[in-house]
Every structure is written in C-alpha cells, then in structure tokens.
Amino acid sequence: MTSEKVWHQDNPHQNNRQAKGLLGLGWRPLSRQFAWDFVWHLLQNDTSELLQKGLDFTSDVADALGRNHYNIFANVLSLFSENMRYEWDEFWEYITPDPPTPNHCQRETIFVNTPVTQTVTRESIPIEYVLNRLQEVTLFKVLDILGSPDLITQDYMDRRFYYPLEKFANWQRLDVFGTVYGYWSNPEIWLQITNQGQGRRCYSLMADEIRPLVNKATYNVAVMLSGYQSRVGQVHSQFQIRDFPSDIQRFTDTVQQSILDQNQLAIVVHGEPGTGKTVWTQALAKEVLVPLGYTIFILDHDAVENFVPPSYLERVALIINEADNLAKNRASEVAQWNNKTEHILSLLDGTLYQSVIDDTGIKAQQKLVVLMTCNTTERFDPAMLRKGRVDLTYEFMHRFV
C-alpha cells in the first residue's frame, strides 16, 4: 500500500477548502466508543492489567483533588489539565476497542491511480493505458455495487475523523487530504484512498474474496486494443447466431458446450472473405461468452505481441482476426522478423502469464477462450494446430456478407 501523503497543490480553490479544515467540510472527530463486552473481555483475559491501570488512574484523580495547599476550585480545575488529559486518554484507549482498520493482509486487492492518463505515439498501442482504464472502470463499478459503506474515516494531522453517511454522495467528491478508509462489514471489504498530489489519488479495494464483485462489474464489458481505436466499451453484434446457416449454428452449439466443459479453449474458424467469420465471433461473444461472464478483448496483431490477461478477471475471451498473418510458419523468412508466433503460442499454452503469480494475491485459475479467424490455415506455423493448442476448427463456406 502507498504511504500517507498530504495533498499540497497550487490550486487556490483547493487551498481554500483545505484551509477550512476537515471540520468545515463536514467531517467530524472520531471518538472511541465504550463497550461493556470489551471491558468484560479485558476483565476475563487481562484482569491484573485492567486493575492496575484502573488503580493508577484513580490515584492520579485522588492526587489532583487532595492537594491541601490549593482550594477545592483549583483542585477541580486541575482535573482538566494537560497531564490529566494525557492520563485519561491513555486509560480510555485501554478500556475501549480500537476503531476498525483495514487488514492489509487480505487475500485479494484491486487498485488504480486516478485519473488514468493516456500517452499515444504512432509507434505503439497504448495497452497500459487501456488496461489501467479497464481497472479504473471495474473498481468504480464495484464501488457502485457495494453502495454506501458502514463507515468512512480519514486520518489527517495525527487525528482521525469520520464522515456522516447521510452526507455521502460519491467517492470522487469526497475531500481527501490524508488517508480515507471506507468499510463494509458484510462482507468485510475495505477501500483505501490516498492522495498522490497534483489532483491524483490511489484507490485500493481489499477483500478476502473480490472476484464475485469483479465479475458483476465487468459484465458485458469489451476492450478493443487496436491503435488509436483502443477503448473500453460494451459488446456489439450486428447479427444473431440464428442468422447464420444451420451448420454454423450446430458448430456454435459445440463451441458453447466446450466452453462450459473446459477452462481453456482455442477455436480457429477459416474461410474466404465474406463468409461471416468476424461477425460470427461478435455474435458468439454477445450471446454465449457475455452471459457466461467473460470479459471480451479484441486484439490486433500489435496488441497480441504485448498482451497479458489481467489477473483479477476470472474469465477472459480473446478475439484475434486474420490470425494467419500473425502466427506464420517460423520456417518462412517473413516470420523470422518478429516473435508474434511465439507469443500467441504462449497465450494458447498459458505458459506466458501463468508461470508467475501476480502480487495482488488473486490466484484462482483463470478461464480463457481464444477465438481466431483466418482465410486459410495453410500459412499457420505447424505448432499452432498441434493437439492441445487449438481445440476446434471449422471452415465457413457460405457467403454471408
């Protein structure tokens, strides 16, 4: 997790808000709450320490009230001295439970730095930007699903504050000068927001199991990685599966059953231009993959070379068109000039991204479907069609578009 930082920036409006202090912005001091069950726990499990601290504090009070060379009024005032306040705070902190704090050892975490900025050059596809944007979209959709938390606190200037829940609108509008925590008790989920300066924030969502929420947040999400067209959106299809010839509909049924039965599946459909290969992948994504909870990635050839499926997604589907121009036979001279064949073979094997576990701790096995289209399989590297890499192939023969 990132360390605490105080937000300093040259924005006069923001400086005015900070000058008002958190109290002027609606935050309230968070005090420790007395609980009889906690005192009973101390009495049962830490009896001697409880009695000792109680006697020490009582003795301090007696000393303050029993000074003979001061009148009673002065002795009463001494109860409110800085020294007595320190003694009281120490005793109060012992007999009251600590306010809830996040468990940074929780098994699964998703985080993002906002706002996500894009740097585009003519030589590269902004893969990192788009994947960060996807992570940002996912995190904020999860927060929408969770709704209002049970507690919002902020640590700032060695003090802890809370924000009244009835005033809470959304996380982006919340004033963050130190470190903000949001807490949902059921299930136990924590949000940590830290200020990065210059208007930037880091959002970290921590839970024992975050995948079910991520699955809901990424429903019907599609990501296109293709030069300046890269974006995060929704799956779209011009046609439905029932619009295709009956043999392709039967093949689709086979594909659907295989997706249900296997954790990893690779499919190649080939045929002449105009036989509906690309629109079929779109229809399959819309009608089969999305309802099963898959996040769709449409990759061009440059994106394939640098793509690794995000580890926080449980189900990933990749659509790669014109794959015969990508995974060319490595014996040919053209294929010698790039390593795209090796990369796509690694994607199909799963060795590229499963050999090292991501440090987020999200380790559940990821389901992967790879859909590839091509005009002919003759230009493929022989290793592509080897058993265990491509599971299903089908030739589209009917003119569709």
Tens of pLDDT along the chain (401 residues) come to: 333 333 333 444 444 455 458 888 889 988 877 888 888 888 888 888 888 888 888 887 787 777 777 777 777 777 777 788 778 778 877 888 777 777 666 568 888 988 887 665 555 567 888 889 999 999 999 999 999 999 999 988 878 899 999 999 999 989 999 899 999 988 889 999 998 888 899 999 999 888 899 999 999 999 988 876 788 999 899 999 999 999 999 999 999 999 999 998 999 999 999 999 999 999 999 999 999 999 999 988 778 877 888 888 999 999 998 887 775 555 554 444 455 667 777 777 765 555 555 555 444 578 999 999 988 888 777 777 777 788 999 999 988 76
Side-chain-side CA neighbours of residue 219 (13 Å): 10
State the Cα–Cα distance between residues 331 and 341, nearest whole angstrom: 11
State the Cα–Cα distance between residues 334 and 55, nearest whole angstrom: 86
pTM here is 0.77
> b vs e for 261-272, b when ≥16 Cβ sit within 10 Å of the residue's Cβ?
eeebbbbbbbbe
**In 66-180, which residue ranges form alpha helices assigned H by DSSP?**
72-78, 82-95, 127-146
Dihedral pair phi/psi, residue 251, rounded to 5°: -65, -40
Q: Are 153 and 99 in contact (CB under 8 A)?
A: yes
Strand pairing of 108-114 and 200-207? antiparallel
Closest Cα to residue 391, out of 263, 288, 305?
263
Dihedral pair phi/psi, residue 167, rounded to 5°: -95, -10
Closest Cα to residue 192, out of 104, 133, 132?
104
Rg (CA), the chain: 30
- The hierarchical CATH code for the domain 218-395 is 3.40.50.300
Strand pairing of 189-197 and 179-184? antiparallel
Report the 10 Å Cβ neighbour count for 312: 23
- Whether residue 29 is preceded by a cis peptide bond, meaning omega within 30 degrees of 0, is no
Residue type, 134: L
Angle at 337 between CA 334 and CA 343, to 5 degrees: 100
Helix axes 246-261, 277-284, angle to 10 degrees: 50
- At 214, which helix (H) or strand (E)? helix 211-217
Per DSSP, 239 falls in state S
